[in-house]
C-alpha cells in the first residue's frame, strides 16, 4: 500500500464526513466562477454588440448637422457608403407611434457593411419598401408588408437658430411598407453611439429621401468606410476627395460687378473658412447682407429690406470714404423714404439675444449718397440664398424664421421683389455691418473680388488644398477602435460580483475548512497512532492535505458545472437593468481562462485555508493526539488577546466612521462594519473563555494542554494528591471546582469547549446578517420629493426629449409651450455618449448638456466641487458673462480656458472614475481641442450620465448646434397628467415625455438591482450560516453521544439534556444576531436619519432578525433530530 492508496482508502472510509467538504467547495467555486462567468458574458456580449453595431465599418466621416454630398463616398473609395442619419418618429396606420427613431437614408453599398453580408441576399429596399430593425418591429408590432408612416424634420443646411433661417413647414411625412425585418447582425443595430441599447431604426433609399426633402443632389452626414486603412490615410483620402460643395461653399459669378463671390449654403461663412479663403486670396473682401425689418426716415418707412455691408472697393457705386455711421441708399429706397444726403435713416433689425430669443434692435445712419439701382448696384448676388426667402415668388410668400408682419408689405414692395428680388436697398461699410449683425456663425455672407489672379476653375483647387474636413465640421473617427475600446463595461462586472460574492465565498471557505477540520479532529487518534509508529508528522499532514485536495478539487469541478446554471441566474438579474424587454441581451460565455483560473484559484484558496487550520494539528505531540480524540484543544496562552483584538478593532471601526468623509461613505461603511464584526467575535470569544475558566481555584488555570497529554480520555497529570481518581471523559465536567448546578452553566462551558467551530458558525451567520441589513439600508426609494428644487429633479416635474432639435419661435416660446407649463428649461445636447448607469459601455467623453445655468440657481444639490470652485451654478459661467447679446465670437484665448461642468456623482465615481478638478478633452465643432473641467458633482440628479455646462460657453464652441432637444418643465398639472397632455401636443415632434421622478427611480432601480443581487447573495450567506450552525450542532451532538448517554445513565433526564442543547444553540444564534445587528446598526447609524424611509429599513432589520432566528433554529433542530434518531 502506498501513500496514494492510503489517501484513497481514507477518503472512501470518511466519505460522509468529506461530503460537506465537497459540497462547500462546490458552492464556493460556483459563486466564484459565477462572478467570473458573469464578467465574461457581459464582456463577450458587449463585444458582439459592438461588432453588430458598426458592422464592418473601420473609419467614418461624421457630419452631424453639417451635410456633405452623398457622392463624396464614391470619390473616397469603393468600400464606402454614404448615410444620412436623422431622427424622427414612426407610426403604424392605427396611430401607434414611436418617437426618437433613427431614420437612415442609405444606398445599396450600405449592406456591404453588414457582418452577415456574405451570408445571403441584401435586404430589399425601394422607394416605398423599407427595412426596419427588430426593435421597431417589436415596438409597433410590425411585420413584413405592413404599412408604416415616417415623420421627420427636414434637415436644414442652415442651423435652425440662425436669424433668417427658414424654420417653418419642415416636417415631412413618408409612407411605405416594411420590406424586411433586420436582425442585429444585418445592421439592425447600426449606430455610432457607444451603447448596448438599441433604438428603433428604419432604412430608406437615400435618393428617395433626398427627393422627398427636396434636397438634391442627395446629401449625407455619415460616410462609412470598411477599407482597412489607418485613420490618417482615411482622412487624407476624404480631404482629397472633397469638393467646395462638401464644405457648403459655392463660387458664383456676379457679372454686373465683374466679381466672383464665394458663398456658403449656411448663409454665414464660418470664421475658419473665411480666414483660410482670405489668406489664400488676399484681395477678397467680405460682404454681409442682412434682412432689416425697417428702414425709416422722414416719418416714412420701408419694410423688410436687404442691407449690405461691403467695402467701397467692392461696392464701387458708394463713396470711397463711406464711414461706419453713413449709409448709401439706392435710388428706389431714397425715393421711398424721400431721403436726401444728410438725412438720418433709422434701421431696425432682429438679432439673436440671450437664450436664443430674437430681439429687435435699432441703429441710425446718415445718408451719404444715393446711387442709381442699376449695374453693379443691381447685382442680385449681393444677397445670399436665404432659405424660404430667395425662392419665394412674392414678398408675401416669404418663409423666414423671423417674426415678419406680412401686412406691412405694400404693392410697391411686391413690385420691387418682382423686379429686383433680394437686391439690397442700401449699403453700409462691412465693419459697421459686422458690428450690428456679426454672430456666432460668422461675420460674412460672402467673399468677393474682381481680381482673383487665376482662372475660376483653379480657385476651387487652390482652396481645397488649404481646407480641411474639420473646417466644415466634418470629423473622421476610427470607429472600429473606438467601439473595441468602449466594449468594456466601466463597472468590471466580474470584480463587482466578486466583491458582492466575497462574503459568500469566504463563508463557504470557512465552513468547508471547518468541516475539514472536523474530520481531522475526529481522526486525531489515527494521526497520533501514525506518529507513534514512526510516520513523520509532515507526511501525515501531507496525506491529510492530499485527501483535502482530492475532495476540494472534485467539489470545485462540481462547482464549475453548477456555475453554468448559477451564472444564467445572475445574468437574468442583470437583464433587469439593461434590457428593456424582448430577447435576452446577455449571451452566456465562459472563457477557458475563467474556468481554469476560477477552479485553480479556489482550490489554492481552499487548500491554503485548510493548511492554516490543520497545520497546528501536525505540531501536536503524538501522545496528545492519541489521547485528545476529537476534542478541540484550544491554546490557553494569550488569553487576553481576544479582548485586545476586540478593543483595537472597535477603535478602528469608530475611527473609520469618523473619517467617513475622507474614506467615502461606502469604504467607511464596509471598513467599520468589518471592524465591528471582528470586535464582536473577539469579544464573544473573550467572554466565553472567561465563563469556561474555573472561577476560583487553588491550582490556577488549566495546565498548558500542549504539555498535558493525559487530558481527557487518559489519566490527567497528577495533581495533589497524586492518587486522584480517573477523570471523566468530558473536559467540561472534569474540574471538580466547577459549580455545575444548572443546565445553563453546563451549556456555557460546553460552548467554550470547541470555540473555533462555534466562532466560525457565529461569524458566518453574523456576517451574513450584517451584510444583508446594511446593504438593504442603501436601497433607494424612488424620488418622492421631486417638487423640492434641491432634489435630483431640480423641482422640475417633466423631462421631455424630442426627436429633432427645436428652436424658439419668433415669440420666444417653443411651439409646444402651453399655459400648463410654468417654467421650461431648454437643454442643448452636445457631443459625447450617454454615461449613465444604463450604458454598459465604457464612456470616455460623457454627453454635453448645455443649459442656461442662471435658470438653475437654487435648483439641484451640488455635492462637492473642485478646490477653489464655489458650490454654485455661477461657477460654470467661468467664461465672460454673456451679455444680452451673445453675439461675440469666442476670442482665441477663451478657447484655452477649461469649460467647467457639473456631473452626477454616480457617473463620476462609477463610470468616469474621476474626481472633481480632473480634466477631459473634447474637440469643438472646428476640430479645436478644449478641456472640460469637472467642477463639481450633483447628488443623484436627472442629469446622470451627462456633463452640465453653461449654454453660452457651449454655443461658442458649437455654433452649429441646432437647437434644443431636452426640456425640463414644471407644470401646473401633476407630472403624470401633464405627460398625457404634452404627449398629445408633441406628437409631431416624436417626443418622449417622462416624469422626472420616474427617471430618477429608473436610475435608482439599477443600484437597487445591484443591492438585490447583494441581498440574494447575503441571503445565501444567511442560509449557509444557518446550515453551518446546524452542522456544528449536529457534530457536537454526535461527538457527545456518549456524554449524553452517561448523563442519562446517572439519572439526568432527557428534558435537562435537551435544555442544555437548546441553551447552547440559542446562545450561538443570539450571539450571531447581536454581533451582526450591532455591527450593521453602528455602521448605518450615521446615514439612517437621511434614509427616505428609515422605518422601512428598521422593519426590514427586524424581519431579517426573525427570519435568521427561524432559519438557524430550524437548522439546529433538524440537526438535533437527526442525532437523536
Partner 1 sequence: MISAQQISKSYETPGETVEVLKGLSLELADGEAAAITGPSGCGKTTLLNLLGALDRPTSGSIDIGGQKIAELSDEEATHFRNHSLGFVFQQHYLLPQLSVLENVLVPRLAGDWQESESDTTDRARDLLEKVGLGHRLNHLPWQLSGGEKLRTAVARALVNQPKLVLADEPTGSLDPASTDTIADLLLELNQDQKTTLLVVTHNHALAHRIGRTLELRDGALWSAMAK
What residue ranges bind partner 1 (CB under 8 A)? 1, 3, 6, 9-10, 12-14, 525-526, 528-537, 539, 621-623, 626, 697-704, 707-710, 714-719, 722-726
Nearer to partner 1, 171 or 537 (CB): 537
Q: Who's near 223: CB < 8 A, 6+ residues apart?
A: 60, 61, 68, 72, 73, 76, 80, 81, 82, 83, 238
Q: Which is nearer to partner 1, 96 or 539 (CB)?
A: 539
Report in angstroms how near the CB of residue 722 gets to partner 1 at its nearest: 6
* Cell 431696425, residue located: 348
In the complex, minimum distance from the CB of residue 520 to partner 1, in angstroms, rounded to a whole number = 14
d(C-alpha 352, C-alpha 165), whole Å:
12
According to DSSP, residue 487 is labeled S
Give the list of residues 6+ apart from residue 817 with CB closer than 8 angstroms, or none: 824
Q: How far is the CB of 14 from partner 1 (least distance, A)?
A: 7
Pairing mode of beta strands 285-297, 201-205: unpaired
Residue number, 316 or 714, with CB nearest to partner 1: 714
Q: Smallest gap, in angstroms, from Cβ of residue 537 to partner 1?
A: 7
End-to-end CA distance of the chain: 37
- Considering the complex, what minimum distance in angstroms separates the CB of residue 538 from partner 1? 9
User: Of 623 and 992, which has the nearer Cβ to partner 1?
Assistant: 623
Q: Please, which contacts does 355-360 make with residues 24 or more away whose CB atoms are closer than 8 Å?
A: 355/808, 355/826, 355/852, 355/951, 356/161, 356/807, 356/808, 356/963, 357/808, 357/812, 358/163, 358/402, 358/403, 358/808, 358/810, 358/812, 359/884, 359/885, 360/293
**Beta-strand runs (E) in 379-530:** 426-428, 446-449, 475-477
Q: Which is nearer to partner 1, 703 or 789 (CB)?
A: 703
In the bound state with partner 1, the residue whose beta carbon lies nearer, of 153 and 625, is: 625
Measure the CA–CA gap between 915 and 921, rounded to whole angstroms: 15
Dist. CA 959–CA 443, nearest whole Å: 13
Other CB atoms within 10 Å distance of the CB of residue 697: 13
Which DSSP symbol is given to 185?
Answer: G
Q: Closer CB to partner 1, residue 544 or residue 808?
A: 544
C-beta of 714 vs 985, nearer to partner 1: 714
Indicate the helix (H) or strand (E) that contains 136.
helix 134-140
DSSP code at position 1085: G
Nearer to partner 1, 530 or 1073 (CB): 530
Which lies closer to partner 1 via its Cβ, residue 623 or residue 756?
Answer: 623
Query: Residue 697 CB, nearest distance to partner 1 (Å)?
Result: 7
Q: Residue 637 CB, nearest distance to partner 1 (Å)?
A: 10
CB 794 within 8 A of CB 942: yes
Q: Please, which residues bridge with residue 936 across strands? A: 865, 902
Closer CB to partner 1, 342 or 721, in the complex: 721
CB of 549 to partner 1, least distance (A): 18
- Whether omega for the bond prior to residue 721 falls within 30 degrees of 0, making it cis, is yes
Going by the DSSP 8-state scheme, the letter that residue 439 receives in this structure is: B
Minimum CB distance to partner 1 smaller for 4 or for 1093: 4
Q: How far is the CB of 553 from partner 1 (least distance, A)?
A: 20
Closer to partner 1 by Cβ: residue 16 or 661: 16
Q: Which is nearer to partner 1, 46 or 624 (CB)?
A: 624
In 3D space, the residue among 591, 504, 630 whose CA is nearest the CA of residue 37 turns out to be 591
Smallest separation, CB 557 to partner 1 (Å): 24
Structure letter (DSSP) for residue 245: G
Cell of 75: 470619390
Closest separation in Å from C-beta 716 to partner 1? 7
Residue whose C-alpha cell is 460552548: 751
How many CB atoms lie under 10 A from the CB of residue 460?
17
Return d(Cα 822, Cα 855) in angstroms, integer: 13
Q: How far is the CB of 11 from partner 1 (least distance, A)?
A: 9
Nearer to partner 1, 344 or 714 (CB): 714
What contacts 286, CB < 8 A, 6 or more positions away? 269, 274, 278, 310, 430, 434, 443, 444, 446, 447
Closest CA to 514 of 1065, 1034, 1107, 32: 1034
Q: Which is nearer to partner 1, 3 or 394 (CB)?
A: 3
Q: Smallest distance, Å, CB 617 to partner 1?
A: 15
Q: CB of residue 766 vs partner 1: minimum separation in angstroms?
A: 32
CB of 9 to partner 1, least distance (A): 5
**Within 13 Å and on the Cβ side, how many CA atoms surround 565?**
6
Shortest CB 636 distance to partner 1, Å: 9
d(CA 939, CA 943): 10
Task: Show the cell assigned to 342.
Answer: 444728410
Residue (of 1015, 1052, 1027) closest to 1117 by Cα position: 1027
CB 1041 → partner 1: shortest distance, Å?
A: 17
**In angstroms, what is the minimal distance from the CB of 616 to partner 1?**
15
Distance CA 538, CA 948 (A): 66
Closest CB to partner 1 among 622 and 1060?
Answer: 622
DSSP 952: H
Which residue, 6 or 910, has its beta carbon nearer to partner 1?
6
For residues 827 and 850, the answer to whether their CB atoms sit within 8 Å is yes
SS (H, E, C) 22-35: HHHHHHHHHHHHHH
Amino acid at each position: 500500500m502506498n501513500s496514494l492508496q492510503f489517501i484513497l482508502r481514507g477518503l472512501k472510509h470518511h466519505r460522509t464526513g468529506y461530503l460537506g467538504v465537497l459540497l462547500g467547495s462546490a458552492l464556493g467555486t460556483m459563486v466564484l466562477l459565477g462572478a467570473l462567468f458573469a464578467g465574461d458574458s457581459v464582456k463577450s456580449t458587449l463585444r458582439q454588440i459592438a461588432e453588430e453595431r458598426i458592422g464592418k465599418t473601420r473609419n467614418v466621416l461624421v457630419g452631424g448637422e453639417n451635410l456633405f454630398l452623398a457622392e463624396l463616398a464614391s470619390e473616397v473609395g469603393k468600400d464606402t457608403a454614404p448615410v444620412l442619419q436623422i431622427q424622427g418618429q414612426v407610426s403604424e396606420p392605427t396611430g401607434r407611434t414611436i418617437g426618437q427613431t433613427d431614420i437612415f437614408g442609405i444606398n445599396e453599398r450600405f449592406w456591404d457593411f453588414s457582418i452577415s453580408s456574405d451570408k445571403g441576399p441584401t435586404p430589399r429596399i425601394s422607394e416605398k419598401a423599407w427595412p426596419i430593425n427588430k426593435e421597431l418591429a417589436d415596438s409597433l408590432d410590425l411585420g413584413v408588408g405592413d404599412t408604416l408612416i415616417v415623420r421627420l424634420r427636414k434637415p436644414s443646411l442652415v442651423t435652425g437658430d440662425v436669424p433668417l433661417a427658414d424654420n417653418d413647414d419642415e416636417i415631412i411625412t413618408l409612407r411605405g411598407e416594411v420590406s424586411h425585418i433586420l436582425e442585429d447582425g444585418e445592421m439592425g443595430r447600426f449606430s455610432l453611439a457607444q451603447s448596448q441599447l438599441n433604438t428603433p431604426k428604419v432604412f430608406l433609399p437615400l435618393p428617395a429621401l433626398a427627393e422627398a426633402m427636396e434636397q438634391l443632389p442627395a446629401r449625407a452626414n455619415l460616410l462609412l468606410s470598411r477599407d482597412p486603412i489607418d485613420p490618417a490615410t482615411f482622412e487624407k483620402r476624404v480631404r482629397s476627395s472633397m469638393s467646395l460643395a462638401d464644405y457648403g461653399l459655392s463660387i458664383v459669378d456676379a457679372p454686373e460687378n465683374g466679381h466672383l463671390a464665394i458663398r456658403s449654403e449656411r448663409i454665414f461663412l464660418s470664421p475658419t473658412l473665411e480666414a483660410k479663403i482670405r489668406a489664400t486670396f488676399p484681395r477678397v473682401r467680405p460682404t454681409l447682407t442682412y434682412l432689416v425689418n425697417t428702414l425709416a426716415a422722414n416719418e416714412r418707412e420701408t419694410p423688410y429690406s436687404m442691407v449690405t455691408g461691403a467695402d467701397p472697393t467692392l461696392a464701387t457705386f458708394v463713396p470711397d470714404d463711406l464711414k461706419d455711421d453713413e449709409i448709401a441708399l439706392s435710388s428706389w429706397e431714397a425715393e421711398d423714404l424721400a431721403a436726401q444726403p444728410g438725412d438720418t435713416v433709422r434701421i431696425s433689425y432682429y438679432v439673436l439675444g440671450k437664450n436664443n430669443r430674437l430681439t429687435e434692435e435699432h441703429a441710425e445712419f446718415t445718408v451719404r449718397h444715393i446711387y442709381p439701382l442699376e449695374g453693379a448696384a443691381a447685382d442680385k448676388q449681393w444677397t445670399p440664398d436665404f432659405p424660404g426667402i430667395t425662392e419665394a415668388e412674392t414678398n408675401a410668400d416669404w418663409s423666414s424664421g423671423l417674426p415678419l408682419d406680412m401686412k406691412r408689405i405694400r404693392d410697391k414692395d411686391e413690385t420691387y421683389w418682382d423686379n429686383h428680388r433680394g437686391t439690397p436697398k442700401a449699403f453700409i461699410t462691412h465693419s459697421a455691418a459686422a458690428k450690428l449683425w456679426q454672430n456666432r456663425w460668422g461675420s460674412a455672407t460672402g467673399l468677393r473680388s474682381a481680381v482673383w489672379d487665376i482662372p475660376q476653375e483653379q480657385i476651387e483647387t487652390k482652396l481645397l488644398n488649404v481646407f480641411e474636413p474639420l473646417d466644415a465640421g466634418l470629423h473622421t473617427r476610427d470607429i472600429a477602435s473606438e467601439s473595441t475600446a468602449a466594449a468594456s463595461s466601466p463597472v468590471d462586472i466580474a470584480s463587482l460580483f466578486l466583491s458582492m460574492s466575497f462574503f459568500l465565498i469566504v463563508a463557504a471557505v470557512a465552513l468547508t475548512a471547518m468541516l475539514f477540520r472536523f474530520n481531522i479532529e475526529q481522526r486525531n487518534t489515527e494521526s497520533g497512532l501514525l506518529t507513534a509508529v514512526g510516520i513523520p508528522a509532515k507526511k501525515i499532514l501531507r496525506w491529510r492535505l492530499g485527501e483535502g485536495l482530492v475532495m476540494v478539487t472534485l467539489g470545485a469541478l462540481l462547482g464549475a458545472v453548477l456555475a453554468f446554471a448559477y451564472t444564467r441566474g445572475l445574468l437574468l438579474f442583470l437583464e433587469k437593468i439593461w434590457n428593456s424587454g424582448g430577447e435576452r441581451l446577455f449571451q452566456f460565455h465562459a472563457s477557458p481562462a475563467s474556468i481554469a483560473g476560477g477552479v485553480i484559484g479556489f482550490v489554492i484558496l481552499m487548500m491554503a485555508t485548510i493548511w492554516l487550520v490543520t497545520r497546528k494539528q501536525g505540531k501536536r505531540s503524538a501522545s496528545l493526539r492519541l489521547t485528545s480524540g476529537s476534542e478541540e484543544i484550544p491554546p490557553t496562552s494569550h488569553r487576553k488577546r481576544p479582548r485586545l483584538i476586540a478593543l483595537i478593532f472597535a477603535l478602528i471601526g469608530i475611527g473609520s466612521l469618523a473619517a467617513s468623509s475622507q474614506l467615502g461613505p461606502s469604504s467607511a461603511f464596509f471598513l467599520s462594519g468589518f471592524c465591528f464584526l471582528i470586535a464582536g467575535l473577539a469579544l464573544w470569544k473573550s467572554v466565553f473563555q472567561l465563563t469556561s475558566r474555573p472561577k476560583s481555584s487553588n491550582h490556577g488555570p488549566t495546565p498548558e494542554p500542549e504539555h498535558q497529554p493525559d487530558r481527557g480520555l487518559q489519566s490527567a497529570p497528577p495533581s495533589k494528591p497524586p492518587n486522584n481518581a480517573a477523570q471523566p471523559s468530558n473536559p467540561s465536567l472534569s474540574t471538580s471546582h466547577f459549580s455545575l448546578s444548572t443546565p445553563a452553566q453546563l451549556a456555557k462551558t460546553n460552548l467554550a469547549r470547541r470555540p473555533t467551530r462555534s466562532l466560525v458558525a457565529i461569524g458566518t451567520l453574523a456576517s451574513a446578517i450584517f451584510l444583508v441589513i446594511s446593504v438593504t439600508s442603501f436601497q433607494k426609494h424612488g424620488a418622492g420629493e421631486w417638487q423640492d428644487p434641491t432634489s435630483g429633479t431640480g423641482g422640475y416635474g417633466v423631462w421631455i426629449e424630442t426627436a429633432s432639435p427645436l428652436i424658439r419661435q419668433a415669440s420666444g416660446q417653443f411651439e409646444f409651450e402651453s399655459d400648463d407649463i410654468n417654467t421650461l428649461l431648454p437643454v442643448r445636447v452636445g457631443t459625447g455618449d450617454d454615461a449613465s448607469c444604463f450604458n454598459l459601455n465604457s464612456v470616455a467623453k460623457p454627453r454635453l448638456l448645455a443649459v442656461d445655468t442662471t435658470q438653475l440657481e437654487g435648483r439641484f444639490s451640488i455635492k462637492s466641487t473642485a478646490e477653489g470652485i464655489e458650490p454654485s451654478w455661477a461657477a460654470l459661467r467661468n467664461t465672460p458673462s454673456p451679455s444680452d447679446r451673445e453675439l461675440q465670437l469666442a476670442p482665441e484665448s477663451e478657447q484655452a480656458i477649461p469649460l467647467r461642468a457639473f456631473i452626477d456623482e454616480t457617473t463620476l465615481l462609477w463610470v468616469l472614475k474621476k474626481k472633481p478638478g480632473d480634466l477631459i478633452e473634447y474637440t469643438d465643432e472646428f476640430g479645436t481641442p478644449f478641456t472640460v473641467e469637472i467642477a463639481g458633482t450633483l447628488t443623484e440628479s436627472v442629469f446622470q450620465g451627462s456633463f452640465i455646462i453653461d449654454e453660452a460657453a457651449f454655443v461658442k464652441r458649437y455654433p452649429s448646434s441646432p437647437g434644443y432637444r431636452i426640456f425640463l418643465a414644471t407644470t401646473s398639472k401633476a407630472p403624470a397628467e401633464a405627460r398625457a397632455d404634452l404627449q398629445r401636443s408633441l406628437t409631431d415632434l416624436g417626443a418622449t415625455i417622462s416624469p422626472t421622478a420616474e427617471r430618477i427611480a429608473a436610475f435608482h432601480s439599477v443600484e437597487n438591482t445591484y443591492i438585490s443581487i447583494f441581498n440574494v447573495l447575503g441571503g445565501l450567506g444567511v442560509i449557509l450560516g444557518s446550515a453551518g450552525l446546524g452542522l456544528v450542532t449536529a457534530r457536537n451532538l454526535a461527538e457527545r453521544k456518549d456524554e449524553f448517554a452517561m448523563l442519562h445513565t446517572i439519572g439526568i433526564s432527557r428534558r435537562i439534556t435537551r435544555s442544555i442543547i437548546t441553551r447552547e444553540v440559542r446562545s450561538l444564534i443570539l450571539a450571531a444576531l447581536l454581533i451582526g445587528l450591532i455591527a450593521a446598526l453602528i455602521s448605518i447609524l450615521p446615514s439612517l436619519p437621511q434614509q427616505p424611509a428609515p422605518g422601512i429599513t428598521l422593519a426590514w432589520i427586524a424581519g431579517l432578525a426573525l427570519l435568521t432566528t427561524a432559519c438557524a433554529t430550524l437548522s439546529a433542530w433538524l440537526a438535533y433530530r437527526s442525532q437523536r434518531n
